[in-house]
Amino acid sequence: MSLGDLALGTSFVKKIRSWREVFKKDSTELKEIQKEKLRKMLSHASENSPFYKSFSIPLDQDPFKTLKNFPILPKQTLKERVDEFLTTDQTKGLTSITSSGSTGAPSKVYFNSEELSSNRALQIIWWEWAGYKFGNSVLQTGVNMKRSAEKKLKDYLLNTRYIDAVSHDENQIKEELELLLEHPRQHFVGYASSIFLFAKVANKYNIKGVKFDSIISIGEKLLPNFRKEIDTAFQSPIYDTYGASEGFLIASQCRKGTYHIMSPHLVLEILDEQGNEVKPGEMGRVVLTGLDNFTLPLIRYEIGDLAVKASDQTCSCGLQLPVLGEIVGRITEFIKTPRGKYITVQTVVRLMKKFEEIDQYKVIQHSESELEIELVSGIKLDSRYEEKISSEYERVLEEKLNIKFTQVPKISKAKTGKFQLIESRLN
């Protein structure tokens, strides 16, 4: 890996060693690291970013108090005014990363080589929590098949075979599974829905013997039915991760299954509709402040997710990092009823589990009283079956809804390659 840094002008090796030392520290030391990094970030942004400089926010001795005086930043503002966030006059030599756009229009952020190396090193730390060691073989699914010279070198150095996550069909997956039987890979990294499809094909065709030292889910929510299918197919440890494509590595599961927040890398706030921190056990909006990207600071950036604040901040795995309760998902991944209730993805999953003939489904909300459910099934579903589903929805939601059913050969993914279980088309 040192040769890779030399060839690319990066500092990956130095960064991963640094992160390893950070995560050995106790909770008090980790809080102090976060506090000092926040102090530096708020000072740097206030002095060098035109956007934040315009607010003239006084810096309190306690950076957490200062933070509360910064406005919450919507994604649209970043998209429209990205140049005002930059702390440098030119973007030459910087790396730009564009978000998936899964909660609206995509936004762009910039990193210098040091910042990018730090993020990539932190991602490998997550792999290490799942048992990865340098030299281990990896199968990874993703959406960016146009691999740059840098990414090709990274794949080579990390012994990674990178395959397309967008165009999976049964025959392609069967070929990959057969290849894995002949040439096993130690770790499987990919979108939750992509790994889920591999598992479905393995179970459908009774392909046994494909196992991994670990399976690492990235990029989207690992739904309960996804995890169950994957566990049945591969009987391998599953580790879920939680990040945002603007460069935030938010939380990852340890060997105990607990989501640990990367507090030396960011400040995570979970806020109610009035902007106040929710109580333990309550759900709120995810708002992030990055502590490592000084090129383009993002302070109190709302990513469009909901999460539950943990009731218990301890974990027996040994890590002293704070704990995240539950990742609920995108704000768009909800059904809003005429009475103003929000029905979560988890509720839909539990409801649809009752209908075993349905292989896949997607719920599209066109208005507060009108839903469309796309269904994939090996049998023709008649109107009586549709009436059963409608009745179950109305029983659970306790409201009358107009539900239209469309049976399709397969559920289409978003342009990002992600599987969206609920698609809200409400204004």
Which of 60, 69, 64 has its CA nearest to residue 31? 64
| Assigned domain for 311 exists | no
pLDDT at residue 110, as a whole number: 96
pLDDT at res. 78: 94
Question: Would you state the pLDDT for residue 9?
Answer: 53
Separation of alpha carbons 350 and 282, rounded Å = 21
Please report which confidence band the pLDDT of residue 7 belongs to, taking 50, 70 and 90 as the band edges.
very low
In this structure, are 347 and 252 located in the same domain? no
| Within-domain flag for 62 | yes
> For residues 106 and 296, which has the higher predicted lDDT (pLDDT)?
296
Report CA-CA distances (Å) from 353 to 2, 50, 226, 392, 412. Answer: 49, 51, 12, 11, 20
Could you tell me the CATH number of the domain that includes residue 408? 3.30.300.30
- 12-16, 42-46, 400-404, range with greatest mean pLDDT: 42-46
Do both 239 and 128 map to the same domain?
yes
The verdict on 134 and 26 lying in the same domain is yes
User: In which band, very low, low, confident or very high, does the pLDDT at 338 lie, cut at 50, 70 and 90?
Assistant: confident
How does DSSP assign 38-87, residue by residue?
HHHHHHHHHHH-HHHHTT-----SSHHHHHHTSPPB-HHHHHHSHHHH-S
> 402 forms bridges with which residues in the sheet?
370
Could you list the residue range(s) of the whole structural domain that residue 115 is in?
2-257
For residues 253 and 347, membership in a common domain is answered with: no
Expressed in percent and rounded to 5, the helix, strand and coil fractions of the chain are 35, 25, 40
Q: How many domains does the chain have?
A: 2
Q: Is residue 412 part of a domain?
A: yes
Q: Residue 281: inside a domain, yes or no?
A: no
Highest mean pLDDT among 97-101, 194-198, 271-275: 271-275
Q: Rounded CA gap, 48 and 36, in Å?
A: 18
Q: Once rounded to an integer, what is the mean pLDDT over residues 176-196?
A: 93
The position carrying tokens 């002949």 is 182
Any idea what the CATH number is for the domain that residue 68 is in? 3.40.50.12780
Q: What is the pLDDT of residue 3?
A: 47
Per-residue pLDDT at 183: 95
How many Å separate Cα 322 from the centre of its chain?
18
Q: What is the dihedral of CA 315, 319, 320, 323, to 10 degrees?
A: -50
Kind plus residue range of the DSSP H or E element containing 330: strand 323-330
Please say if the pLDDT value at position 50 is more than 50. yes
Tally of CB atoms within 10 A around 292: 23
Count the alpha carbons within 13 Å of 342 in the hemisphere toward its beta carbon.
15
Q: Among 237, 240, 210, which Cα is nearest to 224's?
A: 240
Q: Are residues 248 and 342 both part of a single domain?
A: no
Q: Is the four-CA dihedral 321, 325, 327, 332 of positive or negative sign?
A: negative
Cα–Cα distances (Å) from 87 to 44, 53, 282, 294, in that order, read 8, 10, 36, 7
| pLDDT for residue 145 | 60
Q: Where among 218, 242, 257 does a domain terminate?
A: 257
Q: Which of 205, 228, 257 represents a domain boundary (last residue)?
A: 257
Q: How far apart are CA 360 and CA 344, in angstroms?
A: 17
Mean pLDDT of the chain: 88
Q: Which of 257, 288, 305 is the last residue of a domain?
A: 257
User: 250 and 367: one domain?
Assistant: no
**For residue 128, is it within any domain?**
yes
d(CA 291, CA 266): 5
pLDDT digits (tens, 9 = 90+) for 129-156: 999 999 999 999 876 666 666 667 777 7
Model confidence band, residue 25 (pLDDT cutoffs 50, 70, 90) = very high
Euclidean distance between CA atoms 16 and 101, whole angstroms: 29
pLDDT at res. 147: 63
105 and 204 assigned to the same domain: yes
In degrees rounded to 5, what are phi and psi of residue 400? -85, 125
Is 43 or 330 the better-scoring residue by pLDDT?
A: 43
Q: Please tell me whether residues 250 and 387 are part of one structural domain.
A: no
Burial tier of 47 (Cβ tally within 10 Å: 0-12, 13-18, 19+): exposed
Q: Report CA torsion sign: 275, 280, 284, 289.
A: positive
Q: Is residue 264 assigned to a domain? A: no
Question: In this structure, what DSSP letter does residue 234 have?
Answer: H
Are 252 and 339 part of one and the same domain? no
pLDDT classification of 103: cutoffs 50, 70, 90: very low
SS3 101: coil
Do residues 246 and 391 both lie within one domain? no
Higher pLDDT among residues 346 and 235, named by residue: 235
Using an 8 Å Cβ cutoff, are 342 and 329 in contact?
A: no
Residue 111 maps to a domain: yes
Residue 308 inside a domain? The answer is no
